[in-house]
Structure 1
Amino acid sequence: MKVIGAGFGRTGTRSLQAALERLGFGPCYHMSTVIAEPFRIRQWLDGVPWEEMFAGFQSAVDWPASAYWKELAAHYPEAKVVLTVRDPARWYESVSTTIFASALAERTRLPLRRRVLRWLVARRAPDFALYPRMARATVMDPIFGGRIDDREHVLKVFDQHIADVKAALPKERLLVFDAGQGWEPLCEFLGVPVPEEPFPHANERTAFAAKRSRRRLRLIVRGK
């Protein structure tokens, strides 16, 4: 493991994943990796060793990996840490309408159509059916105390997380990074040349719900 992402989901982690892979620090582990390969959900729930969890990966960003930034930084002492940041209000608007909205929906009684889809996913893709449980166990409960519908609390946790990461790591090992800064600070920190192409900017917010629905349908049809 050469690079550890300590930033919360929806702080430009997908862009950072693409950037790290372009710079030669891939494959980069991301929540999308877990969703694409549902057997990894059980790994998080079972608490497998880090070497098994990240076998074949040179970097890891986004939840659930970033929820364990402190443990990973201690386990991989040579790895550098990138803390992605974003304007708190804009971050909350994004996360509350995507990741948190999905998690909160799991707490409510779903319409019949959604309950049928959930049942079909559980039958055809039992690993993926454990995704809500994993999200609660790795992110929603330990980081936010389950209070993801409390804006003031969530923003307080967001700010405290940034302060904690900054306080825990020496400056030479940590980069506080906004994806809007582009290649230069990231490349300087990692000691690699700046690519002659635009920095990748992946904004999946508008497609979040549609992608989730398509993923469930594929799981029902293919069973994985």
Structure 2
Amino acid sequence: MKVIGAGFGRTGTRSLKAALELLGFGPCYHMSSVIAEPYRVRQWLDVGEGRSRDWDTLFAGFGSALDWPASAYWRELAAHYPDAKVILTVRDPGRWYDSVSETIFRSALEQRRPLPWRRRVIRWLVARRVPDFALYPRMARATFIDPVFDGRIDDRDHVIAVFERHVAEVKAAIPAGRLLVYSAGDGWEPLCAFLGVPVPEEAYPQVNERAAFRRKRPRRLSRLILRGR
């Protein structure tokens, strides 16, 4: 592991994932890795519920890790991989909350409400065909929704306060030479200087995470139902 992401989800992690892989620090572990391979949901559930923290097995084959659930364990990962550099992705707290509340948190809150019958059927089919993926809501609660946000993801002021406190804690805990505080708008130069690599000719990747989440979620569920695992 060469790079550890300490930033919360929806802070430009999809774009940074693509950037790190272009720079040779991939494959990059990301929440999308968990979605693509549902057996990883159970691995993280074991972590969140205290049964296992075998980081080397969990991240085998990956050169970097970003986004939840990995970033919820930034302290443990920074200690386990002492030579890895740490990137703290940040953005305006209010805009970040708007993004996360319409994507990740929205999905989590839906688990607490009665669903339309079509959604209940889809969820039942997913649970039948892909039982590991059916554990995703429980995994999310166990790894970051409850331990990081006390489960209060519908409380805007609380969540923003957690975000701001998290940024301060990472800055205080990681030595300056090992830490890059980074926004996607910063582009290649500070990232490449921090990692000690040349600036590539390609433009810095721009991935609209909110749009990608909305677009892929129904397709992802349909694929899981059709193919199973």
> What is the TM-score normalised by the length of structure 1?
0.98
Query: Which residue number corresponds to residue 169 of structure 2?
Result: 164
1:57 matched to which residue of 2?
62
Partner amino acid, structure 2, of 1:174? L
Whole-Å Cα distance in 1 between the matches of residues 11 and 215 of structure 2?
20
Give the Cα separation in 2 of the matches to 1:51 and 1:197: 32
Superposed, 1:12-161 pairs within 5 Å as 12-47=12-47, 48=52, 49-161=54-166
Structure 2 match to 1:5: 5
Distance in 2, Cα, partners of 1:62 & 1:3: 12
Gaps of 5+ in 1: none
Structure 1 residue ranges (4+ consecutive) displaced by more than 4 angstroms after TM superposition:
none
Shift of residue 211 of structure 1?
Answer: 1.1
- Give distance in 1, aligned partners of 2:193 and 2:209: 27
Aligned partner of residue 131 in structure 2, secondary structure: coil
Partner SS state of residue 63, structure 1: coil
Q: How big is the shift at 1:204?
A: 2.6
User: 2:219 is aligned with what amino acid?
Assistant: R
Q: Provide the aligned C-alpha RMSD in A.
A: 0.8
1:206 is matched with: 211
Q: How far has the Cα of 1:210 moved from its partner?
A: 3.1
Amino acid in structure 1 at the alignment position of 2:12: G
Q: CA deviation at 1:207?
A: 3.6
Give the total of aligned pairs.
Answer: 224
**Equivalent AA in structure 2 for residue 208 of structure 1:** F
SS in 2 for 1:162: helix
Shift of 1:201: 1.1
Report how far residue 129 of structure 1 moved: 0.5
1:129 & 1:170 partners in 2: Cα distance? 39
Q: Partners of 1:198 and 1:18 in 2: how far apart?
A: 11
